[in-house]
Amino acid sequence: MEEASARKLRFVSLQVVGAVAVIHLIVGGAEFAQLSEAGLLWAYFAAGRALEQPEPWLFVLSGGAILVGIAGVAAGRIGHRRAYLLGIGMLSVYVLGWLVWHTVLEHGIALEDGATVGEGATGGDGGGHEHSSHEHGGDEHGAGADGGGAHLGVVSVVRTHYVEPMVGIATGANQAGRVTLSVVSKTLEAIGLLLLAALLSVDPRAQTGASGGSGAAPESPEAEAAGPEDAGEI
């Protein structure tokens, strides 16, 4: 791919991945703000709730790590190939973690006594993801339509936590803002994975950075002619 085309693809990827990072920072930060206002922030960490309901700090740390990585590429500290691989890894964790959270973990991590801490673990909603009790009046979990508190399957999770809220967005349905934000985030994560995979395959800077260097040194004449003003681009 010519450097000019790769530069455009890098720009679009930067916007998408940056938006994912900001969304997770906002959601995680909002959870911490709610805990602080309720006087539960100390209990969240001291009583082990941070391990049982880890979304707030995981979201803040992962979102911050993405922004630090973007800054590292712009400063020439991280090669493009390495950045693309790390980005693919992080976005994959987001998507797979979302599926696991809503299926195997059932909105919480099991305690020693076999109970599961999910909604309300931190004194309120507590979860960094949307919950179906918010979206569908609680008819999809516990002893709901699937019966007996059985795990939701992947297809059911995608339908109830992504497809139906997406339809709600398109039709202007009244649904929680966090539900909409989660759908937007999952969409951006999927797009980001595709964009980073494409860049890993076709971006000249990813090829020059394969040996572990900064990955910023262009190979093509077009890239050399781009000048130093493009050096900080991701």
Instruction: Indicate yes or no: pTM above 0.75.
Output: no
Summarize pLDDT for 144-192 with one digit per residue, the tens. 334 344 456 888 888 888 888 888 888 888 888 788 888 899 999 999 9
- Specify if 229 maps to a domain: no
Q: Given this model, what pLDDT does residue 176 score?
A: 81
CA 233 to CA 229: how far, in whole Å?
8
In terms of pLDDT, which residue wins out, 128 or 26?
Answer: 26
91 CB-side CA count, 13 A? 26
Residue 69 forms part of a structural domain:
yes
Answer yes or no: is 225 within a domain: no
Q: Which amino acid is at 77?
A: R
Q: Residue 169: is it exposed, middle or buried by C-beta count within 10 angstroms (0-12/13-18/19+)?
A: middle
CA atoms within 13 A on the CB side of 45: 7
User: How many domains are contained in the chain?
Assistant: 1
Average pLDDT of the segment spanning 30-40: 90
Kindly report the backbone phi and psi dihedral angles of residue 110, in degrees, each rounded to the nearest multiple of 5, phi listed first.
-65, 140
- 96 falls within a domain: yes
Burial class (CB in 10 A: 0-12, 13-18, 19+), 55: buried
46 occurs within a structural domain: yes
Alpha carbon distance 42, 37 (integer Å): 11
> How much of the chain, in percent, has pLDDT values that exceed 70?
68
Q: Which domain holds residue 186?
A: 3-110+126-220
Whether residue 115 is contained in a domain is answered as: no
pLDDT reported for residue 177: 78
Residues facing 148 on adjacent strands: none
DSSP structure class, residue 116: E
Highest average pLDDT, of 70-74, 97-101, 120-124, 130-134, comes from 70-74
Question: 189-206: per-residue pLDDT in tens?
Answer: 999 999 999 999 999 888
Does residue 234 lie within any of the structural domains?
no
